[in-house]
Amino acid sequence: MSQNNHPFANPGPAGLMVLAFYLGALWPVLTGMAHHELASVLIALGLAGGLVQMTAGIIELRNGSIMGGNILLAFSAFMWLGCIEWLGKMLGFIPHNTAAVDGWVFTIMGILMCGFTIGHLLTPKVMFWFMIFTDIFFLSAGIFFLTGSKLLLLIAGWVLPLVVVTIIWSVLGTVLNSVFGKTIIPLGKPYRTPTSKARKE
């Protein structure tokens, strides 16, 4: 850790943790295990998570991580969207049914995340699979909003535990491996070996 040349320590685990909190609350609502009104907790989680992810994204960019920083900032935008949209629906200044526009936002994010997944071939395997599961969530949720397909809603809801599990694995591995200076929790070698230029970034 003393040889870290970045101005800040890696903020990625914090950004991922708040995402896990948010998705952990969204999962029972999407799958019908919790009453729809309980989604109001996403207002508080969206506010807190948006702040943490925005901060983490800025730090990642300052540390020179173009992909991690931009993804965290995009996730923060989704946190803010969830926070403000749910608040607006509760207070009545946003229509209750926003699926026609939410669907396009989620679908566009899903397409972008699929593109970023290619870059994650150079990262530990657990992060690559986090991206795969996240791709499935955004695309299935987006197309569900646009089509109303119950099958896609089922897929979007039940892929969330896989996203959360990969987050927990990645966060614990990243932090504990750094603290102890050795592999405590294996994260898996990348599917592709980074080039010299990619290693510097």
Q: Render pLDDT for 141-151 as a digit per residue (tens, 0 to 9).
A: 999 999 999 99
DSSP the chain: -TT--SSS---HHHHHHHHHHHHHHHHHHHTTSS-GGGGGHHHHHHHHHHHHHHHHHHHHHHTT-HHHHHHHHHHHHHHHHHHHHHHHHHHTSS-S--HHHHHHHHHHHHHHHHHHHHHGGGS-HHHHHHHHHHHHHHHHHHHHHHH--HHHHHHHHHHHHHHHHHHHHHHHHHHHHHHHTS-SS-----SSPPPHHHHH-
Structural domain boundaries of the chain? 12-200
Q: Render pLDDT for 13-67 as a digit per residue (tens, 0 to 9).
A: 999 999 999 999 999 999 999 988 888 899 999 999 999 999 999 999 999 999 9
Q: Render pLDDT for 88-109 as a digit per residue (tens, 0 to 9).
A: 988 999 999 999 999 999 999 9
Q: The pTM is what?
A: 0.90
